[in-house]
Amino acid sequence: MDVDDVAGRLGVPAEEVDRVHRLAGDLPSAPLPGRADAPALLARLAVRPDDAAEILAGWPEPGSPLWTPELRWLLDRSIALVRADLGGHAWLPPGPALPRERGPAWRHLYVYAYLALVDVVRAYHSDHGVPDDVSWATLADLGNNLAVDRRMNGEGWPVMQCWLTLHARGGLYELGRLQHQRGDAEAIDLHIPDSGPLTPEAVDASLDRARAFFPRHFPGERYTAFSCGSWLLDPQLREYLPEDSNIVRFQRRFTLEPYQELPGLDGDVEVLRFVFRTLDTPLDRLPRRTVLQRAVIDHIRAGRHWQWRRGRFPIGGPAGR
């Protein structure tokens, strides 16, 4: 299809469509499961009933009037683009951000791409001996991300559509409390899902699982450290939180790298996204129920800014917690 024509019909920049066209080329795609099988799969992926209903309503069945030729082309080529990087572990935009208000086919196009890749990545997991429980727990992050996006009125998805390609390529694994991303610089990158208290005991158990998991299932990769990039590592939080709080105890595991501002990464935005799950609510309308919520609001009101920080500690264990 003509790239400029597709871009015009999709209402997105031509260079983003051209990127999909160049990277996917004529590489193989993957089929979606049948619509009759979709409810069970969505349930297994922890997709909530309201999100599942929308996904099923927009299902790309043959002849569906919701699916224009350019949407079908983008779905097919986005699947091919992600599949071509199976085993990759870097962030990968699967395609352009779409005007999601135009209906379920537009809103969930990259969800359908994810669903088409479940069997592909499950086969990859099997080839590496990854247990079924780890495989499904990892892939079920789809449901969590859809629920968060719904709570954020669609503000979360531009980040999430890239994030979920890690799961769909075998680049990330959920091992208890933490998610662990394979790397290419001798470090496993840690991510902290919104799934309950970040207790030292839960973190220790997850790290221990990772220490056994990666040598067993990816023996060719040699990791010497755990690393993390997050607003949770901002040392300014210690001005507000008690020393025995879970966040401060998590911070103490890491040696921080020098702070530097990164293009496109705003610490205030990241904190608001994760603490309040909103980016457009005025500060005076945000809840102040917890110490953390009050800290976030008061810090910004004082004209100060939160930082996204990166740190690491040896895989053998941190100095303290």
Spatial distance between the Cα atoms of 283 and 275, rounded to a whole number of angstroms: 12
**Angle subtended by helix axes 69-83 and 109-127, to nearest 10:** 20
Residue 303 sits at the vertex; the CA angle it makes with 235 and 160, to the nearest 5 degrees, is 65
The whole-number average pLDDT for the span 25-39 is: 96
Averaged pLDDT of the chain: 95
Residue 103 has pLDDT above 80, yes or no: yes
pLDDT band of residue 187 (cuts 50, 70, 90) is very high
Cα distances from 205 to residues 198, 199, 247, 317, in angstroms, run 11, 10, 16, 12
Spatial distance between the Cα atoms of 162 and 7, rounded to a whole number of angstroms: 20
pTM (predicted TM-score)? 0.94
Spatial distance between the Cα atoms of 106 and 90, rounded to a whole number of angstroms: 25
Please tell me the predicted confidence (pLDDT) of residue 262. 85
Please tell me the predicted confidence (pLDDT) of residue 320. 59
CA-nearest of 82, 78, 32, 80 to 59 is: 32
Spatial distance between the Cα atoms of 260 and 258, rounded to a whole number of angstroms: 6
Share of the chain above pLDDT 70, in %: 98
